[in-house]
Structure 1
Amino acid sequence: MLLILLGVLVLHLIILVLLLVSTAANAWTIGSTGSTDLWYKCLTTNGGYHCLPASNEDWIQAVQALMVLSVLFCFFSLIAFLYQLFRLVKGGRFFFTAVFQILASLFVMCGAIIYTVMSPDRDVSSSFGYAYVLAWVAFPLSLISGLIYIILRKRE
């Protein structure tokens, strides 16, 4: 049982790191003239590297909010898991932790979908970057983690 709990904890920490990197990294869209993320649009012009704030459009603000919420809910889920690990009665399930983790997975999925559909910077020379891919990798991992928390029972 200790190995299962340790494995779930390590999976949760990996998901949290994936969400943090995907939210903060400057590589959601990479093109020949620069890169774009949730917060800045960086361009390479005349040998210089210039970063401008992201546009004030509603869709990018929605993606920013959803990604920040996913990080927060994943962190709250980790805190709830650690609390429940020591305070939950024998035979109890980690429902509170599971709900937070599943909400984090839904937030990251919605943010990535909105970014996919609404991103105007996509042209032939650009592609999605590693931060975008990390967000999509974090979605099923956090969903699976949430389902594991639903199934998991506390044992002595």
Structure 2
Amino acid sequence: MLLILLGVLILHLLILILLIVSTAVSAWSVTGGSTTDLWYSCLTNNGGYHCRPASNEDWIQAVQALMILAVLFCFFSLVAFLYQLFKLVKGGRFFFTAIFQILASLFVMCAAIIYTVMSPDDADKAFGYAYVLAWVAFPLSLISGLIYIVLRKKE
């Protein structure tokens, strides 16, 4: 049982790290010498690196909000898991943890879909690794949430 709990905890920490990195790193889309993330658009110019704030469009603000909510709900589910691990009665299930984790996965999915649909189409644009990390965090957090639903507290 201890190995299962340790494995679930490591998976949860991995998901939290993936969400934080994908929210903070400047690599959601890459175009030639420029990178764009949720917060800044940066351009490499003659050895310098010049950044300007992201646009004020509603869709990018929705993606920002959803990614922040995903990080917060993933953190809240970790806190709920640790609390329930010590306070939950024997045989109880980790429902609050599961609900928070599934909500975090839904927020990540919605943010990535909005970014995919609404980001401007350029001929030489490619999605960066932070965008890929967000898509990797989605199924992992959904699977983690489903594991918490099944998981029961034992002695």
List aligned pairs for 1:5-154, cutoff 5 A.
Answer: 5-120=5-120, 122-154=121-153
Amino acid at match of 1:59: W
User: Cα deviation per residue 1:18-45 (whole Å; 9 max; x = unaligned)?
Assistant: 0000000000001103000000000123
Q: For structure 2, list consecutive stretches of 5 or more residues without a partner in the other structure.
A: none
- Deviation track 1:123-154 (CA, whole Å, cap 9, x = no partner) reads 12120000000000000000000000000000
The one-letter code matched in structure 1 to 2:45 is T
Displacement, 1:12? 0.0
Bigger mean CA deviation after superposition, 122-131 or 72-81: 122-131
- Structure 2 length-normalised TM: 0.98
| Structure 1 residue 47: Cα displacement | 3.8
Identity %: 81
Task: Provide the TM-score with structure 1 as the length reference.
Answer: 0.97
SS of equivalent to 2:83: helix
Q: Secondary structure at the match of 1:52?
A: strand
Deviation string 1:103-128 (CA, Å, 9 cap, x unpaired) is: 000000000000000001x3121200
Q: Distance in 2 between matches of 1:141 and 1:150?
A: 14
Unaligned runs of 5+ in 1: none
**Which residue identity lines up with residue 153 of structure 1 in the other structure?**
R
Secondary structure of the structure 2 residue equivalent to 1:100: helix
> Equivalent residue for 1:3?
3
Number of equivalenced pairs:
155
Structure 1 residue 46: Cα displacement: 3.9
Partner of 1:14: helix, strand, or coil? helix
For the aligned residue pairs, the C-alpha RMSD in angstroms reads: 0.8
Amino acid at match of 2:130: A
